[in-house]
Every structure is written in structure tokens, then in C-alpha cells.
Amino acid sequence: MTTAAINKIDQQLDSLDRESLRAQVLVALRQFRSGWVELGRLLTEVAYGGDYKEWGYDDFEVYCARELGLKKPTVKKLMVSYNYMKSYEPNRLQKYEEAEDNFSAPAMPDYQTVELLHRARETGEMNETEAAKLHEMAFSGEEDEGFLRKEIRERIKNEGDEDVNDMGYQRKKELNDILRTARILRRKLAHSNVVPGGMKDRLEQLLVELEALD
């Protein structure tokens, strides 16, 4: 993160209550390199809770881009990675969130590594045994993460080599159709007073999970 970006965050924080959720997100962003887990948790809370609407944004992605300077792929990876931790490393996640500071918190793989683990495990592109082995390698801290990410990408690619042109294209097309329909529904619900807010929030959560398959 550049000095200019940090200065911009500091200026925004000066005008906010440090205990507010909005300020917490900005503080977590400032500490992004040393603690992506907290940022992933807060982004998930903001997305599902719809707080960004109270801050003057109609769309969560617009809020992330304009206020946080985060692009959609980064936001998606952070949220997917946090949800992966909740599913597959709940004890480690709890210890991390209960730690008093970064020094006493358990070590975590980079969020990009965790997002790849999610992709390997959840998309059906790799068998469970291989996915579990890669998970253990990532969280043991014994492997170089750059090498590990390359290894995961290669294994995912190799799992899909058979009939890749046909099956890969059909899968992509079907998923794009589903995402397009879900996004149209989200736009319609955004202006509806008939559907309860909780249902809208569940649609946002589903969209995050669907986009992670893309």
C-alpha cells in the first residue's frame, strides 16, 4: 500500500468514530499486509449487513472501490478466504480473532493461497485427498507460498485436462448464465420493499459463493 493511500485512510479516520464499523474497516485495510483475516471478516459483515447503504453507497462493490480502493477480485478473494477459514480452520480462526495482537496470533497463509485452497476444494476440480494434503501444506508453514500457489494452480489445471475444451467451456457458460440471472435479481430486489432485508442479504452471500466458482 502506497504512502498516499495510507494518508488518505488516516484523513478519513480523523472524521470518524474509531469504534464505528466504518472506521474498523478502514483500520483493518491499513493493517492489510499483516492481517487480512480481520479485513475479510469486516468486509463480510458489511456486505451481508448492508451497512454501506447507510454510508451513502447503493452498491457494495462501489463502496469497496471508492472508499477502500479495493477491486472486486481482491474483495471476493478476501471474503471467500475468510469463509474458507470458518469452514476448515475454525479453531485457528478463533485463536486468531481472540489474540491481543498480531504477534500472539497464529500464523496464517496469504489470502491468495487460501482462496486457491477454496477453489481446489469447493469447485470439484480436485479430489478431497489432494485438497486436504494441499491444505495441510499451506497451514504447516513449511512450504514457500509462492511455490505452493503455483503447485495448486497446476494441480487444478491437470485435474481438468480431460475434455477441457468442451467441458470447461460448457461449465463456464452455465456459470455465467447463473451469475447473470442472480445479478439481475439483485438489482430488482434493491428497489423492492416487498422482499425482507434478510432474504436480500442471503442473496448477496450466495452471489459471493457463486462468483468464487468463476
Q: What's this model's pTM, rounded to 2 decimal places?
A: 0.67
Shortest CA distance to 132 belongs to which of 150, 152, 146?
152
pLDDT of residue 214: 62
pLDDT of residue 164: 43
pLDDT of residue 210: 77
Q: Where do the domains of the chain lie?
A: 1-106, 109-161, 165-212
Listed as ranges, residues in the chain with pLDDT below 50 are 2, 160-166
CA separation (Å) from 8 to 23, 51, 55, 65, 198?
13, 21, 17, 14, 34
